[in-house]
Structure 1
């Protein structure tokens, strides 16, 4: 009677060590971003259709990566990641957005004030608002959802199974910093100029330049 449970327990525990699981998912995430940003499929030139394609493909590649890692490497249920439901998580989402918006707004104002960045808007207000709304969706698909799922979801949860809480937080933060440094090194540094091109249908009087 004791044979089958022992076999089942051995099967559940026959999974890669923690450092291998973390390394595989981290390396896979880096490769996805490098492929989409530097690969020959989409090229490195920026335009709106390419940005949309990168955002959609990032989510379509990263989400299955985490699902597969949870099923094949961790061999644990998805619920073990501790991700809240939409009903329980929307308040946390709004709080997180507010916590980001205040320091981001102050930092952005500082950069504009000292001349570290330059923004040129040459379009109608309506077009600028449409572009801003589109960028919110693209940032969610290209950065927010996949990065949170990988780093604050999968990697943090796995590190927390072996490490104290503060070490798990520091560990995932270090991995996220390394991830960001890798992307910046390959891209040659962030751009400091953002331009919204003027559409032919806009009147010259509604164009603004900075």
Structure 2
């Protein structure tokens, strides 16, 4: 039989050395795990009160047209005490949100955040805003005033009236995680508001 003979006693120093090595190994594993774990992301563990809808455009003046799709928009703000990763956060209406919750996500009436202009990440700082417009813009997405990301969904004209997917008189704007968990929402039940500031 190989190994240490059973009749040789183990010294206190040997036991302490083994315990110290085990403790050092454990601390190393804990530190390594903490270094590989990034900040909580909105698509994973961010609680629902850190992103807040602050403005919603629901009803473009005049007849709905391809040209005035940007009168429909949702603007939300990071109201937490630190940066938030908004990767895969969705902006939806009632119809799309119901499908997302059922696990039957649809591309219509939904905008998924996959990047931010002039950022290099999908992380927004404390106090920064993201505005998602239903239409498009020559030059694409942009950052303005140093604190607001403007994203343009270029929503499909087959999905709503000329690509405008919010109902004028009764709907909800949702900002959710990828699985439909709600981060913020704003509902309206009357016509003619055009822009609401909750």
Shared fold (TM-score, shorter chain, > 0.5)? no
Alignment TM class, shorter chain as reference: under 0.3
Q: With CA pairs under 8 Å and 6+ residues apart, which has the higher RCO, 1 or 2?
A: 1
More strand by share: 2
More helix by share: 1
Larger Rg: 2
Give the TM-score, by structure 1 length.
Answer: 0.27
Give the TM-score, by structure 2 length.
Answer: 0.28
